[in-house]
Amino acid sequence: MIVFVIPAYNEAQNVDVLLRGMAAKIAELGRGAYIVIVDDGSHDGTSAQAETYARKLSLEVVRHPVNRGVGQAFRTGFARALEVAGPGDIIVTKEADNTSDLTILDAMLAKIDAGADVVLASCYAPGGRVEGTTPDRLILSSIANGLVRLIFPLRGIHTFSSFYRAYRADSLRHAFAAYDNRLIEFGGFVCMVEMLVKLGRLPLRIEEVPMVLKCDLRKGASKMIRSRTIAEYGRLFLREVLRRPADRRRARAVFARLAALRAEEMPR
């Protein structure tokens, strides 16, 4: 089964197209699917719009009464997804604004089926690109992504900030445990960079699939506050560079122990 986690904040203009597209894709894939939409304090009818699809899709909306930030939205969504997901299931995260290209989902799932633990949709990988955004946003994104790659390099990985990812559910469950449920600590958009940096320190197979990010498909403005995001990148760089190597070694040891226990529990 695939469990989708979709954070949403004031996405009433986008959610109808989003869920119609997902319904068609789920039917095409022929796999069981469950959708968790985390409404992070929307006040434009996002939840009501999403719930009109509850009869057509296995879908639930988890509501935050007030906006708590994308980091908390993902923490809430992952917690619920890991309750729903069983052994062998896959968790897919994506944006609610229709910029995530569903046509590449097949390739992402195929990589998980072939042994990857995490697969990223990457607009910076060879064959990927960004369309429909302003030059200043494109430059800022490229600089931030380049700095992260320089400071926290992962072999073969070109993007760190994409929300659109596929995870092996068991690997993600072990990763949360390895970090004492602190896999995501930042509250803003940099939380996905933070998460990938931490996952990169574990014995995980991380791969990516090129994607064309079509920002012009989004209705309404981006929810990212530029000044806040830049400040969070600075705090992330400072904290993760200075974090003690012992903490990293402990996380790897816990993850390896959990994986070994899981292997012993598997039927032979």
3-state SS, one letter per residue, for the chain: CEEEEEEECCCHHHHHHHHHHHHHHHHHHCCCEEEEEEEECCCCCHHHHHHCCCCCCCEEEEEECCCCCHHHHHHHHHHHHHHHCCCCCEEEECCCCCCCCHHHHHHHHHHHHCCCCEEEEECCCCCCEEECCCHHHHHHHHHHHHHHHHHCCCCCCCCCCCCCEEEEHHHHHHHHHHCCCCCCCCCCCCHHHHHHHHHCCCCCCEEEEECEEEHHHCCCCCCCCHHHHHHHHHHHHHHHHHCCHHHHHHHHHHHHHHHHHHHHHCCC
Pick from 83, 97, 89: which is nearest to 19 by CA?
97
Rg (CA), the chain: 18
Residues 266 and 259: their CA atoms lie apart, in Å, by 11
* Residue 137: predicted pLDDT: 66
**pLDDT for 232:** 80
Range of the domain at 124: 2-265
Q: How many domains does the chain have?
A: 1
Q: For position 80, which CATH number holds?
A: 3.90.550.10
Q: Which structure tokens are listed for 259?
A: 């994986």
The predicted pLDDT at position 112 comes to 98
Regions in the chain scoring below 50 on pLDDT: 267-268
pLDDT of residue 88: 92
